[in-house]
Structure 1
Amino acid sequence: MSSTSSPTPGWTPSSWKSKPVAQDVEYSDSGKLSKVLSKIATLPPLVTPSEIERLRYQLSQVQRNEAFLLHAGDCAESFDACTNENISAKIGLILSFSLILIWGARLPIVRIGRIAGQYAKPRSSKMEKIGDREVLSFRGDNVNGLDIDDRTPDPERLLRAYFHSATTLNHLRGLLTSGFASLHQPRDWSLSHVRSPSLKNEFENIVEDLTDALDFSRTIGQDAGASFEHGGARSTVGEVDFYTSHEGLMLEYEQALTRECPVPKSVSTAPNQKGYYNTSAHFLWIGDRTRQIDGGHVEYFRGIRNPIGIKVGPSMKSDELIRLLDIVNPDKISGRVTLISRYGAGKVENYLPDHIKVVKASGHPVIWVCDPMHGNTLTSSTGLKTRHFRTIISELTSCIRIHSECDSRLGGVSLEFTGELNDEGFSVTECLGGSMELSEEQLGLRYQSFCDPRLNFEQSLDVAFLISNHYKNERRGKKKELEKDVLFTELSGSTGK
């Protein structure tokens, strides 16, 4: 490949414009939009090609069952939520969740946050009715405002989205390189406000065991702060790799941050090789509403080198899924595609087995991730959008079982959760159930989401322990089976003498 050639035949960062674009935003001032996009195109990249390639390598490990993927964060970020407290709480929850998974599964965790760019929101209708007024639907802070008098799409919001993403990333990187992620202080990750005694006890047990392990390592001369390389990650006990993601919905914005860059030599297959990277995030995904085979989003995604996600729901036909994989990953590159299934607890049995079967037959390397949130949304009797913890767990456990039955493996989980607290230090109340047994009457107490309902800190840890215990039991089962095999071999050998 020459240094100037496009990595994908017939593709350019703007070739998506020749295709129909679902969920497109109509701006009244095209000149202002062009000016804003031109400015964004000159701004520094938010992430680097080397970070993107490192993530793709780690995702290939997930695909080989050598790691587990945690994809989590807000349904949609808001500019107002870009605060030290909110960012720290979100990262603290992700770190707590991943620590529980590591302890049970004994696998490295690849952490991808829905953060530093998840500002856009797809909608099923262009208009919505609020009271006696019909207004343009709220499309997220990078398009228009939540206030009903601020619904006109404004290009300047794209520029604000860039700077809020940069600010979030700057704080995130500062946290992760200043000891916030240290395994010596996991109690600092906002666990103090958890009201469930059983959750606190379970987490404290892990922390105590971990502290003993680290003390033992120090005693025998292993420096717990020494750098090591594991699973493609460059980290210490005090640092972790952390990646950002968002739905690649606003194609004008994504194009403005798409840069042709030299491919890092560690992964380059030719001298002076270049590729197109979307530098707005490490990982982007195509939503269930924008995955049309002949659409602009699929056209755009097929040309970038970033690892990508594809939402797979009940409306996805098996042959359509394979055609889609053929388009976005024709060379069947490992770590390139993550399939994020979101069927709903009542439909997962009807669709997931066939989807697994056809993908296995196609030879496409994919990571299967369960999103148990989006197919299980309901409206409470009080009119609030919510989800029940019971159905979330039902879809998740069904996914684990179905993959096992189909000789496949669930490689990760995609969750909408938050570590946010209100002024009194309480978790949000947006989803029903969980260890705190949140009821409908309690939903309105601390309902803070302007988008979809999120699991709170306690409910998120409930999920973490469920997954962790599953893999812990699986690991113990394999050990017992191995012991049985060894014993059987020994007995067979002794009787044969």
Structure 2
Amino acid sequence: MSAEPINLDSWRDLPAAQQPDWPDRSALESVVAELHGLPPLVFAGECDELKDRLAAVARGEAFVLQGGDCAETFAGATADNVRNKLKTLLQMAIVLTYAGRVPVVKIGRLAGQFAKPRSKPTETRGGVELPAYRGDMVNGFDFTPESRTPDPVRLLRAYHSSAVTLNLARAFTKGGYADLRQVHAWNQDFVAESPAGRRYEQLAREIDQALAFMHACRADPEEFHTVEFYSSHEALILDYDRALTRVDSRTGLPYDVSAHMVWIGERTRQLDGAHVEFFSRIRNPIGVKLGPTTSPEEALALIDKLNPANEAGRLTFIARMGASKVRDALPPLVEKIRASGAQIAWICDPMHGNTFEAPSGHKTRRLDDVLDEVAGFFEVHRALGTHPGGIHIEFTGDDVTECVGGGHPIVEEDLALRYETACDPRLNRGQSLDLAFRVAELYRLS
């Protein structure tokens, strides 16, 4: 048991980046008090289980597949949307496990990803300036003063939407939908019209043959029928995550029970900032996004602050360098951290460093750039003898047209057809499978 209570509010005395300008502080305090009394969304024991899985990643024994929406919406917390995202994640995991021959830790970027950092606090259209959209947890997408005013009641809606999403995710992953014998069923609506779907179908037939052999041998392990699935989000809005922090009755230690894993973004990883301070107090497995300007000294200081006991599985670095910079910016970080003896899991986010604006005005990404950054990530680790531990991507299970390229190619002129994201562009299902097959090839070479 902890010798003395941990101060979970020490972050309040430090600068907190990317926080909403709540117009009514008393309303915020009322909502926070209500959140504090609500049941946990996850349990501390589940967080510890994920920490064990990430420790295996840090040791080079497993691979992380982390992904989901750029920014979830309240309207998106439906059975169809959750099932489609899980279906895509499961298909990617099957490709990585079978073709890459590696155990895969499956982490959803869902059930809490309702807030986004912004490069500017306001947005101007037609001479009208309003607060930027910061995600459904904070304000609305519609460009009106009423919609864009931060509303703390949205924190409660985020909690309840997260609970619905987690309930659906648990039902799908434990109730038979994730059974390996469903590998063909996940693809029925997809195989005929997609090169990635046809490639996946061939892999599914090979899995069927392997399952038939094991059945004949009377081998039917439980792992074939359910999957371990964990939730994660960027813990951006500190009032929300602090309100959902609980002291574990087993250990007397605090856990942020809004998700199994939470991470700090590139814009909020200041060593003297509120986010790093808050994260240093909770016991969840945590991540930190590292962009191309990160120095080795900054990375080592983050390790000292966030994982002073050098606990494997506690801290994951998520590199988001950009395809043009990863081969130069990543090696000094990996080299210094390896030399320090720090037990870190390394994950590649190949999305956020590769965004550009198309002539149509749509924010987009090229799949070729995404694949190139992943390739660079693997090349760096292969050269240094370290473990490329996973990928962190933004995708959807829907047939959107937000990123260009892929085996069933989308060109820039197609972007307006189904551009549905609330914030950043996401890979669609075919592009996600294209990525999974490429990552599996790279892993087998590393």
Shorter-chain TM-score: what band? over 0.9
**Candidates 50, 58, 63, aligned match of 1:63:** 58
Cα distance in 2, alignment partners of residues 416 and 199 from structure 1: 18
Which whole-Å deviations, capped at 9, do the CAs of 1:20-68 have from their partners, x for residues lacking one? 1011112111111111100000000000011000000010011111111
1:96 aligns with 2:91: yes
1:463-478 residue pairs with structure 2 within 5 A? Answer: 463-473=435-445
Match of 1:5 in 2: 4
Q: Deviations over 1:306-343 (max 9, x none)?
A: 00010000121211111111000001000011100001
In structure 1, the residue matched to 2:35 is: 40
Hey, what does 2:45 align to over in structure 1?
50
Aligned to 1:202: 199
Amino acid at match of 1:255: R
CA contact (8 A) 2:115 2:134 kept: yes
User: 2:328 pairs with 324, 334, 350, which one?
Assistant: 350
2:363 aligned with 1:391, yes or no? no
CA distance in 2, matches of 1:89, 1:317: 39
**Aligned equivalents of 2:195, 2:121: Cα separation in 1:** 45
Q: Counterpart of 1:432?
A: 404
Q: CA deviation at 1:434?
A: 0.9
Determine if the alignment matches structure 1 residue 255 to structure 2 residue 250: no
- Unpaired segments ≥5 residues, structure 1: 228-235, 264-272, 421-426, 475-497
How far, CA to CA, are the matches of 1:3 and 1:289 in structure 2?
32
Point out the structure with max Rg over C-alpha: 1
Aligned to 1:424: none
The alpha-carbon deviation at position 13 of structure 1 amounts to 1.5
1:177-203 deviation line (CA, Å, top 9, x unaligned): 211001001122255235655323321
Aligned partner letter, 2:255: Y
Question: Who is 1:270 aligned against?
Answer: none
How many correspondences in the alignment? Answer: 444
Match of 2:151 in 1: 154
Local SS of the residue matching 1:62: helix
Change (3 A) 1:194 1:290: farther
What per-residue deviation string (whole Å, max 9, x for no partner) do you get for residues 408-466 of structure 1?
A: 1210001101102xxxxxx1000011111211111111111120000000000000111
In structure 2, which of residues 333, 351, 362 is the aligned counterpart of residue 373 of structure 1?
351
Counterpart of 2:176 in structure 1: which amino acid? G
Query: Compared with structure 1, are the counterparts of its residues 172 and 193 closer, same or farther at alpha carbon in structure 2 (3 Å cutoff)?
Result: same
Alignment-derived partner of residue 14 in structure 2 = 19
Contact 2:195 2:408 in 1 (8 A): no
Match runs of 1:129-144 below 5 Å: 129-144=124-139
Instruction: State how far apart, in whole Å, the 2-side matches of 1:88 and 1:428 are.
Output: 16
User: Does 2:306 match 1:311?
Assistant: no
1:113 partnered with 2:108: yes
What is the CA–CA distance in structure 1 between the aligned matches of 2:403 and 2:4, rounded to whole Å? 49
Residue aligning to 2:414: 442
The code of the aligned residue for 2:423 comes to: C
Using a 3 Å threshold, how does the CA distance of structure 1 residues 4 and 395 change in structure 2: closer, same or farther? same
User: Aligned partner of 2:246: which letter?
Assistant: R
2:232 corresponds to: 245
Selected match of 1:361 from 339, 342, 354: 339
- Aligned residue for 1:27, secondary structure, equals coil
> Is the 1:379–1:386 contact (alpha carbons within 8 Å) kept by the matching residues of 2?
yes
In structure 2, distance between residues paired with 1:452 and 1:195: 29
SS class of match (1:69):
strand
1:89, 1:189 within 8 Å by CA — same for their partners in 2? no
Query: Are the counterparts in 1 of residues 191 and 198 from structure 2 also a CA contact under 8 Å?
Result: no
For residue 298 of structure 2, give the secondary structure of its aligned residue in structure 1.
Answer: helix
Paired residues of 1:87 and 1:168 also in contact (CA < 8 A): yes
Aligned to 1:494: none
SS at match of 2:208: helix
C-alpha displacement at 1:3, in angstroms?
4.5
Give 2:160's aligned residue.
163
Structure 2 counterpart of 1:428, which letter? V
Distance 1:45 1:200 in 2: 38
Contact in 1 for aligned 2:262/2:284 (Cα 8 Å): yes
- Residue 470 of structure 1 and its aligned partner are, at CA, apart by 2.4
Mapped pair 1:221 → 2:218: yes
CA distance in 2, matches of 1:37, 1:239: 35
| CA distance in 2: counterparts of 1:193 and 1:451, whole angstroms | 26
- SS at 1:444 equivalent: coil
Query: Would the aligned equivalents of 1:339 and 1:369 in 2 still touch at CA under 8 Å?
Result: yes
Taking the aligned partners of 1:348 and 1:31, their CA distance within structure 2 comes to: 45
TM-score (normalised: structure 2): 0.97
Q: Does 1:183 align with 2:170?
A: no
- Identify the residue that residue 492 of structure 1 maps to in structure 2: none
Contact 2:378-2:442 within 8 A present in 1 as well: no
SS at match of 1:277: strand
User: Residues 348-393 of structure 1: CA distance to partner in whole angstroms, max 9, x if unpaired?
Assistant: 1221010111111221110111111000000001110000111111
Distance in 1 separating the partners of 2:19 and 2:217: 60
Shift of 1:4: 5.4
SS at match of 1:129: strand
Q: Is residue 318–residue 355 contact of structure 1 (8 Å, CA) maintained in 2? A: yes
| SS at 1:302 equivalent | helix
**Would the alpha carbon gap of residues 53 and 387 (structure 1) be closer, same or farther in structure 2, given more than 3 Å must change?**
same
- Aligned pairs for 1:413-432 (under 5 A) are 413-420=391-398, 427-432=399-404
Segment drifting more, 356-365 vs 299-308: 356-365
Work out the CA distance in 1 between the residues paired with 2:233 and 2:200.
Answer: 30
In the alignment, the residues of structure 2 paired with residue 283 and residue 61 of structure 1 have an alpha-carbon distance, to the nearest angstrom, of 16
- Secondary structure, aligned partner of 1:375: coil
Q: Deviations over 1:222-268 (max 9, x none)?
A: 2x2x43xxxxxxxx3110000000001011111110001134xxxxx
SS of alignment partner, residue 95 of structure 1: helix
Matches for 1:283-294 after TM superposition, within 5 Å:
283-294=261-272
Q: Distance in 2 between matches of 1:64 and 1:105?
A: 17
Q: Distance in 2 between matches of 1:137 and 1:408?
A: 40
2:170 corresponding residue in structure 1: 173
User: 1:220 deviation in Å?
Assistant: 1.6
Return the alpha-carbon distance in structure 2 between the equivalents of residues 462 and 279 of structure 1. Answer: 34
**Map of 1:81 onto structure 2:** 76
Q: CA deviation at 1:216?
A: 1.2
CA distance 1:35–1:209, shift in 2 (3 Å): same
Opposite residue 260 of structure 2, the aligned amino acid is H
> Residues of 2 paired with 1:92 and 1:22: CA distance?
35
